[in-house]
Amino acid sequence: MGQEEGVRILRDKTIVLGVSGGIAAYKSAELCRLLIQEGAAVRVVMTRAAQEFISPLTFSTLTGHPVLTEIFGAGSGGPLTHIDLARAADLFLVAPATANILGKLAAGLADDLLTTTALAVDCPTLIAPAMNVNMFAKAAVQENLNLLRRRGWGIIEPDEGFLACGTTGKGRLASLERIVAACRRALAPQDFRERRVLVTAGGTREPLDPVRYIGNYSSGKMGYALARAAWERGARVTLISASQLPPPPEVDLVPVVKAAEMLAGLQERFAAADVVIMAAAVADFRPVQVAGRKIKKEDQGELNVHLEPTEDILATLAQVRQNQLLVGFAAETEDLLANAGHKLAAKGLDLIVANNITRPGAGFGSETNIATLIYPGGQYQELPQLPKLEVAYRILDAITTLPRFQRGESGPERKE
């Protein structure tokens, strides 16, 4: 496996991007750039209506390939272009898709190069509709979408918000972040398909008074990377987060502040979960007394705060587990293997991800991590310094090798 296989899912993949004629067509230019930045080669097919909104020159300049617009004659690239495109395509994406193109795709029509190519492809297919709110809500459009969904098209639902026609509602092209995420999921291994994964992230904050808390330096980036990677690999992900970061697309976000709330959030969802990954930096202690109003310095000579231990979340979950697979993290400053190995055993974990936070490139807030994966038998695997999304992919790879995962005990077929 390449050094950054997980991060570069789209590298060297050919994405055939169909652009149909809606105002959101201008956003497809930026989408092209993002896909190319991810390492993909993008070949653009435009309908005639799309060319009313944006010039093929924009796309040919961005992609470095001529834009194909016709079945015959100039702009066709030859009579078998749809077949050549279909053979080259690792992914076929229509963005934006108008109501008209949805209707044609649902009916199996092939009266232009985009719809003809759509019939010829033999690769994952995605569609990102964009139109006026009333058009999108129409039964004809919804039924066409349902039909396409049943036939295996991935539907990237539109966002809600202000639309070009001046109204507000559902119909705006999905954010480009969501479209890129959907492309990545379409081409990522689906070895977590339908597994229910709970990920915790960020540093919990334990209040002292209404304006102060005891916290830690955790950014939440590692947990967010794990949530994103698990979703890309097919999981149904809930992210229980004490971090301030914006959530990755398509994961179910449960914001929490305190350790007790994180525990409650997990307990509520634990029975239905298959895998729990505790990437959060949970406060080990909290103030016994939380002042109802701001502590004023003139009222205090010095301030002594009495702390009590928080619940150990992983240990608490381990006591009531059925077959859930539990993964912990260990942020250490010394004796990495011994300390993390001890936590693995003490908390009844299936895997622990240890990192020495004093090493440059491994600490809180860093974009990278240097992790050691430790298994119950004492075996361990040292990973090099990698971007956190890549580390997340490696952790998920390790999870798939664990007996509890392979036996499917943590899988969808598990009896409840």
Which span (90-98, 105-113, 140-148, 310-318) binds ligand CTP, by CB under 6 A? Answer: 310-318
Q: Which is nearer to ligand CTP, 159 or 261 (CB)?
A: 261
Interatomic CA distance for residues 36 and 26, integer angstroms: 16
- Give the Å distances, CA to CA, from 246 to 224, 243, 250, 259, 329: 9, 9, 12, 20, 22
Among 157, 191, 261, 312, binds ligand CTP (CB under 6 A): 312
Which span (39-47, 190-198, 312-320, 392-400) binds ligand CTP, by CB under 6 A? Answer: 312-320
DSSP per-residue string spanning 247-278: PPTTSEEEE--SHHHHHHHHHHHHTT-SEEEE
Among 141, 240, 254, 313, binds ligand CTP (CB under 6 A): 313
Q: Which is nearer to ligand CTP, 176 or 313 (CB)?
A: 313
Residue positions counted in the chain:
416
How many Cα neighbours within 13 Å face the side chain of 8? Answer: 14
310 forms part of the interface with ligand CTP (CB under 6 A): yes
284 forms part of the interface with ligand CTP (CB under 6 A): yes
Among 85, 121, 181, 278, binds ligand CTP (CB under 6 A): 278
- Smallest distance from the beta carbon of 235 to ligand CTP, in angstroms? 19
Among 153, 231, 329, 405, binds ligand CTP (CB under 6 A): 329
User: Going along 167-323, which residue ranges are E strands?
Assistant: 168-172, 196-201, 206-209, 212-214, 236-241, 252-255, 275-278, 285-287, 307-309
242 forms part of the interface with ligand CTP (CB under 6 A): no
Site string for ligand CTP, 4-43 (x = CB under 6 A): ----------------------------------------
Q: Is 92 exposed, middle or buried (0-12, 13-18, 19+ CB in 10 A)?
A: buried
CB 129 within 8 A of CB 136: yes
Q: How far is CA 2 from the centre of its chain?
A: 21
Active-site positions? 165
Among 22, 202, 328, 411, binds ligand CTP (CB under 6 A): 328
Binders of ligand CTP among residues 251 to 270 (CB under 6 A) are 259
Among 280, 326, 370, 395, binds ligand CTP (CB under 6 A): 280
Residues in contact with ligand CTP by the rule CB under 6 A: 259, 278, 280, 282, 284, 310, 312-314, 328-331, 343
